[in-house]
Homo-oligomer: A and B are copies of this chain.
Amino acid sequence: MSKLVPPHGGKGLVCCLLEGSALEAEKKKAAGLKQIEISSRAKGDLIMMGIGGFSPLSGFMKKADWKSVCEKMLLTCGCFWPVPVTLDISAADAKSVKVGDEVALVRNGEIMATMKLEEIYEMTEADKKWECELVFKGEGPDSQKFWEVAPNDHPGVKMVLAQKEYNIAGPVKVLSQGEFPTKFPGVYMTPAQLRTKMDERNWQKVAALQLRNPMHRSHEYLAKIAVEVCDGVVIHSLVGSLKPGDIPAEVRVRCIDTLVEKYFVKDNIIQAGYPLDMRYAGPREALLHATFRQNYGINNLIVGRDHAGVGDFYGMFEAQEIFRKMPVPAEDGKRLLCQPLNIDWTFYCKKCDGMASMRTCPHGKEDRVILSGTKLRKMLSEGAEVPDHFGRDEVLAILREYYSGLTEKVEIKMQSAAAGKGM
């Protein structure tokens, strides 16, 4: 019998993905339905509803749920849920459908799902701003005024403000997992697949390392602390979309493969990927990360420095603090059971002669190997030496290769442009 934490919501894994003949029939029907183009974010959300990653959700939220989630982090049924999961459509599309209709949800030409409309509601500019205020709110001085100060600096806020004028809500039937199963074989896993893998290893206390950046020694250390105190650790990468300039999932997955191969005991570690896009909602997104991890059978989420943050919008450890403030429904099934495993800022320290954190290292700045992302990117793209102990050589080599490819592309572009000019 599985010892893993049960899925969130008390109803087991709620999976909206069709299979076999039901899938074929629905596909046929979907081709004849009104086609609605959806965002990249909505595609990720749909796949999660398909594979049970968003249990107990089985569709996009109605207005009352949206409102309750924004305000109280609770669904109207009383179940914990930290961020809105909504689907926007244009005013024109909204006028051409009515409650009771079925529509096809399309992304880049592929029908991802069908949906039965239970509600169509307007999202005014004021509604969107209100959502942003509550969901992307941090304690930092700028965090509540991003829409005035610099909405474009916050990719999550930008995404919400760019939503179309209406939301549609209702249950979905998911028809595809997109490119993920073929693009990330052996890494992209459904909650059921990951649970089976962990049950085979008889795991009970499992930690997830949320990852959307290449894995350097500071991340390796987080994972290894968790390996010491848990049955096993899942290096769980976001393989959906990120903001421009971030390192693509393919490259990150190769880095992790290498690191696991050379620096981990394989029995204690699993690499897996999930199909969501980043929302950059900081503390609230940390809660979302814990919520869907519970569905994957994971009962501890490593929460480090500036989890799911962006720029300086959130305080360094706000994502750890929100776990102490979140609502705790009385009923087991409605409560979030995945706990935070809070770990401080980690780094290599020369005096400690090893990895350390602000909680364990009493030494000064000058003894610590700390690099900003910007500085590291510069070093890698210029082929400069990265300071000792910062990353593993094998991982840095992959990143150097990636950055040199980027540089070549830019050079080729510039050469063709120059050649074109000469003609």
Which residues on B sit within 8 Å (CB–CB) of A265?
A: 358-362
In the assembled complex, how far is the CB of residue A339 from the closest CB belonging to chain B, in whole angstroms?
Answer: 11
In the assembled complex, how far is the CB of residue A206 from the closest CB belonging to chain B, in whole angstroms?
Answer: 14
CB of A270 closer than 8 Å to a CB of B: no
B228 and A357 within 8 A (CB): yes
- Among A1-9, A117-125, A347-355, the one that faces the other chain is A347-355
Distance in angstroms between the alpha carbons of A49 and B352 in the assembled complex: 40
CB of A370 closer than 8 Å to a CB of B: no
A360 and B229 within 8 A (CB): no
Number of copies: 2
In the assembled complex, how far is the CB of residue A228 from the closest CB belonging to chain B, in whole angstroms?
Answer: 5
A229 and B341 within 8 A (CB): yes
CB of A266 closer than 8 Å to a CB of B: yes
B360 and A264 within 8 A (CB): yes
CB of A18 closer than 8 Å to a CB of B: no
CB of A377 closer than 8 Å to a CB of B: no
Which residues on B sit within 8 Å (CB–CB) of A351?
A: 263
Contacts A268-B359, A359-B268, A360-B268: A352 and B228 contacting too (C-beta < 8 A)? no
CB of A277 closer than 8 Å to a CB of B: no
Give the contacts of A336-393 with B (CB-CB under 8 A): 341, 343-344, 348, 351-362, 389
CB of A225 closer than 8 Å to a CB of B: yes
Interface mask (A250-268 → B, CB under 8 Å = 1, otherwise 0): 0000000000001111101
Which residues on B sit within 8 Å (CB–CB) of A316?
A: none
Q: Which residues of A contact B (CB under 8 A)?
A: 224-225, 227-229, 262-266, 268, 341, 343-344, 348, 351-362, 389
Q: List 15 A-B contacts (CB under 8 A).
A: A224-B356, A224-B360, A225-B225, A225-B229, A227-B359, A227-B360, A228-B343, A228-B344, A228-B357, A228-B359, A263-B351, A263-B352, A263-B362, A265-B361, A353-B389
